[in-house]
Structure formats: structure tokens, C-alpha cells
Amino acid sequence: MIGVVGSSNIDIVLTVEKFTNPGETQKAISLEYFPGGKGANQAVTAAKLSKDDVYFFTALGNDDFGKKLASNFDRLNIKGYIYTDLPTGRAYIEVTKNGCNRIIIYEGANGFITPEIVESKLDILKEYKYFLLQNEIPFETSLHIAKALKSKKKVIIFDPAPAQNIEKEIFEYVDYFTPNEEEFKYLSKKFFDLDPQKDLKKILRNFFNLGIKNIILKQGEKDIILYNRNLILKIPVFKIQNVIDTTAAGDVFNGALAVALEENKNIKEAIQFASAAAGISVTKKGAQSSIPTREEVEKFLTKNK
């Protein structure tokens, strides 16, 4: 079974011709609201693709946005959310007509998920085997969870997004580390003062020495690369023609990866399954509204063998 601890947001999406430059004002083509948040996106993905229960520990505000998110979780039988008097988290997303995005998040209720609050839920969390963590809640909380759950032999999948404020202590407890290119570059510079284009072998060795078991590097339209101490595996991504919105692709990938690993797929099969789910998601608008069903993923994989 899959557990998720992380953020819930309302995504406020502005579709624009191009990214707004500093000092520039432009009119948006459209304004839309979608349920989002990296934790919520991953939890909803797991719930839609898995036959088993998904537990999602997150905090929602006592406001209309919080009620809207809770209704969505209830519909998918996702349990674990709590309410707080802080406002529901927000993500302000600028999306260009060709599907590229830039995101600013407002923490809000997500900041309520402290180590002390999570400690009270550990007995429930221990019932689950695979855990999805991100970095839109306080980092010290993610570190606390990873340490506590790893001691119980749980499998930790860590998405370092956003990459700011991450400390290397967490890597001792991480089984699958899933950065994109920019996050990998940023953290390599922060921790080792090295550039992946020049010092990749040294960077990988340093990450493995910190305790990471597997690095799954997501590179957008380029191959996904799996690194561990025993192998390097390049897995081609599916070619998607009609890209509309890439906002949740990374989250869909991680949620689907957890489902595939839970179903005992080997790592190559798990990455292919996750890549298919993420590929489908970029053909639809919004975060959770873009997450495919299990049937859609199976059909896509059959068609693209």
C-alpha cells in the first residue's frame, strides 16, 4: 500500500502567450482553478492507478478551497487529510500556449505539517510500505518522516521539488531519488560544488556515499536515466505530439512509479509505466485533472510497444 505525506494546493493557472518579462505587463488568455499540490498530485495519481488504498497526510484550510480539495479526496477514497485555520496552499502558475510553465507557491496550510504533527500519525503511516515525499511542506518534516519510516523498512521515494532548503541528511533514508535536470544541477552545485556536465561520475559517487540507493533523472523530452551503484540504464520517453500543459508531469511520474513498484514490476518496467502516465498527463490541462486512469495507461502502453 502507498502512503503520501505532502502538500495540497489550489492551482491558479494563467494561460499566456509567453512568459512575462521583468517589468512587463501582459493580458492573460484565461484564468482557471485546479486542485493541485505536489503531494496531492502524487496521491491522486496513486489512487487512480492502484487497486489498493492510498493514505495521504496533508493539511487543508478551513475555507472554500480546502473543502473543494477534500471533496476530491473523498471521491477517490483518499484518507488522511486534516484541517487547520491557516489558508489552503496556493500555486500561481503561468502556462504558455506551448505548454511550458512557471510556478510560485504559497505554503499556507502546508506549513502546519510539522514533525510534531506527523509524529501523532506514525502508527497509521507504518501500515503502508511505499512512501512518496516531496518538498512543499517544511523540510524538517520530510526528514523526520523519512528517518522514522526507513527504520521500519519502508521504501522512500523522494521528489526534491522545490529544491531549495533541502539538506543532504535526508539522502541516507532515500531509496529512489527523482530529480529533474534543474534540481539535479542545483543540488550537485549546493552539496558538492560540481557541475553534472563536467563531473557526473564524481557527483553520482557522492550521492551514493550519502546513502541514496537509486537516482532516476527526469529530463523532459530526453531519456530518463537510472543510476545506481550497479548500473546505468537509459529509458527512452514516449514521444508526445500534442503537449498542452506539463505542470503535473513529474508528480504523475512519481505516483505511477510507486504503484508499479508496489505491484512488483522491475525497475525498467516501473519507469516505463511511470513515463507513460506522465506522457498522457501533458496532453491535458491542469494538474489533477490531467492524471490518467489505469485503463488509459494500459491502452497507451499497448499502443506504444
Kindly list the catalytic residues: 251
Note whether 275 and 267 are within 8 A (CB).
no
- Nine-digit cell at 279? 506522457
Maximum CA extent, the chain: 52
Rounded to the nearest 5°, which phi and psi values hold at 206?
-65, -45
Please report how the helices 181-192 and 196-210 are oriented relative to each other, as an axis angle in degrees rounded to 10: 70
Q: Rounding to the nearest 10 degrees, give the CA dihedral for residues 284, 286, 292, 297.
A: 50
